[in-house]
Amino acid sequence: MSDPAFVPPPDERARPVVRHARVAPVSSLAVLSQREVNALCERRTPALDELFRRCALAVLSSGLESDDPRSLLERYASFRISLVQEDRGLRLDLVDAPGSAFVDGQMIRGVREHLFAVLRDILYITQELEVGGHFDLASAAGITDAVFRILRNAGALDARIQRGLVVCWGGHAISREEYDYTKEVGYALGLRRVDVCTGCGPGAMKGPMKGAAIAHAKQRVTDGRYIGITEPGIIAAEAPNPIVNELVIMPDMEKRLEAFARMAHGIVIFPGGVGTAEELLYLLGILADPRNDEQPLPVMLTGPRESAGYFAALDGFIREVLGPESAARYEIAVDQPDAVAEKLAHAATRVLRYRDEVDDAGYFNWRLAIEERFQAPFVASHASMAELVISRDLPTHELASNLRRLFSGIVAGNVKESGIAAVEAQGPFRVQGELSIMNALDALLRSFVEQGRMRLPGRAYDPCWEIAI
């Protein structure tokens, strides 16, 4: 790799950059034949190259405090990345890369692993799903098979590991007290030799991993897993945190959520915003399916005492809109990190035992029933948001599905470049539905804004939605 040249920032917003560097894979894609390298290079398109560039930039910028993908692209507008074919395999050429990804002229090992994980998943997804035609994406079983094979290709499914895996959801825009609490829970899980999976970003996605990593070191767990699952549309706003040692990029939000649900032996939900509400609604929607009545999947909502109001608002919304049956699928525990970890660790053991008894895989829940409505990608637009049916006349799981899509649209308007552009061009997304539900929704969203859960601290927020009543 060539020695990088650091350039002093021309203004206070700029960052040092590395003028040129060539890097080789260290794990993902480390051993490829010349034919495989040729295939990777030949099947690229301008659109795919730009997607890879943006995701790569997000990985290289990990640690920067930003939730605005446009500001990152503007800051490093001259950044370029290209594939290089060599006799010994694949290399990446980087121009004007963020200097924070390097130390003493070498790319940081974890950043390097994440960079090639991006290349692996983006190209695999494109070639196998979109070009190869090797998947049946028109059926629920076919989509689940695609999720499984993407995870397997990333090395995230390991039948040899028998430890519990707890999925942690929560927001990136959380308070210091809430962040410290997520570390406490992660630490308590790690002491019980539990692995952690999150959305891979900052805030409540980083804290549990940090706590678990320290606890694993104390327990001499040398193969601790800190799995981060993301998707291309959101990675620029929630770049992988440096503790992630297994990064997986799913093709869209729906496959990302299914991957979480099928890998989890337990789920803990920390304070967050609309993205966290979307995840909870997805989970409650699939658990409302009668076929999942016997599924042992523990779900706990937890945070410090400062978060009691957040959970009260979220729980009140669920009870009023989806009913007490849905609220019965989770437990709220405020300011009890050790109790939460103990319950989840014991529950994970029971889940693994149940999977063994019914001959299901411990590392992937094949028996969990997920309808196509929860798998079909939802593309947020003014038309698709306005067409959502929000009514109690719908079965509970269908109402939860449509509410999940509504929240997904708001997430897009907040952090995804396509959603931000749509709102700038046509104004806020308009949502409508049954009056009592809209009133409850309005109250919940307003509480998120008032609590500063829509943006990183210190940044003003303009709602990307408006409720038509």
What is the helix (H) or strand (E) element at residue 85, kind and residue range?
A: strand 80-86
Percent of the residues in the chain that have a pLDDT greater than 70, as a whole number: 90
Q: How confident is the model at residue 256 (pLDDT cuts 50, 70, 90)?
A: very high
Cα angle for residues 386, 387, 393 (degrees, 5° grid): 115
What is the mean predicted confidence (pLDDT) over 382-389?
Answer: 95
State yes or no: pLDDT of 3 exceeds 90: no
Which residue matches tokens 């967050």? Answer: 272
Tokens of 112: 């390097």
State yes or no: pLDDT of 460 exceeds 80: no
Q: With beta carbons less than 8 A apart as the criterion, state whether 76 and 17 touch.
A: yes
State yes or no: pLDDT of 421 exceeds 80: yes
Q: What's the whole-number average pLDDT of the chain?
A: 88
- β pairing state of 165-169 and 266-269: parallel
For 277-320, write each residue's pLDDT tens digit.
Answer: 999 999 999 999 999 988 899 999 999 999 999 999 999 999 99
**Would you mind telling me the total number of residues written for the chain in this entry?**
469
Q: Residue 10 has what pLDDT?
A: 42
State yes or no: pLDDT of 80 exceeds 70: yes
- Alpha-carbon distance of 399 to 321, in angstroms, equals 9
Q: How confident is the model at residue 11 (pLDDT cuts 50, 70, 90)?
A: very low
What is the mean predicted confidence (pLDDT) over 162-172?
Answer: 94
CATH number of 158-372: 3.40.50.450
Q: Residue 131 has what pLDDT?
A: 65
Q: How confident is the model at residue 236 (pLDDT cuts 50, 70, 90)?
A: confident
Q: Residue 6 has what pLDDT?
A: 36
Closest to 199 measured CA to CA, from 147, 249, 251: 249
Q: Which amino acid is at 459?
A: R
Q: Residue 123 has what pLDDT?
A: 77
Q: How confident is the model at residue 69 (pLDDT cuts 50, 70, 90)?
A: low
Domain boundaries, the chain: 17-134, 158-372, 374-468
Q: Residue 74 has what pLDDT?
A: 84
State yes or no: pLDDT of 2 exceeds 50: no
What residues form DSSP beta bridges with 196? 166, 226
Q: Which residues of 1-38 are buried (b: 16+ CB within 10 A; e: fewer)?
A: eeebeeeeeeeeeeeebbbebebbbeebbeeeeeeebe
What is the mean predicted confidence (pLDDT) over 180-196?
Answer: 98
Tokens of 154: 């990333």
CA 422 vs CA 53, 58, 201, 458: distances in Å: 22, 22, 24, 25
- Indicate the SS3 state at residue 69: helix
- Find the range with the poorest average confidence among 11-15, 84-88, 273-277, 404-408: 11-15
More confident residue, 262 or 120: 262
**CATH match of 17-134 with 3.40.50.620:** no
Instruction: Examine domains 17-134 and 158-372 and report if their fold is the same.
Output: no
DSSP state of 392: T
Closest to 18 measured CA to CA, from 1, 31, 32: 1
Q: Residue 132 has what pLDDT?
A: 62
Q: Residue 120 has what pLDDT?
A: 86
Closest to 64 measured CA to CA, from 240, 232, 210: 240
More confident residue, 135 or 356: 356
Q: Mutual orientation of helices 274-287 and 308-321 as an angle, nearest 10°?
A: 40
What is the mean predicted confidence (pLDDT) over 216-225?
Answer: 97
State yes or no: pLDDT of 68 exceeds 90: no
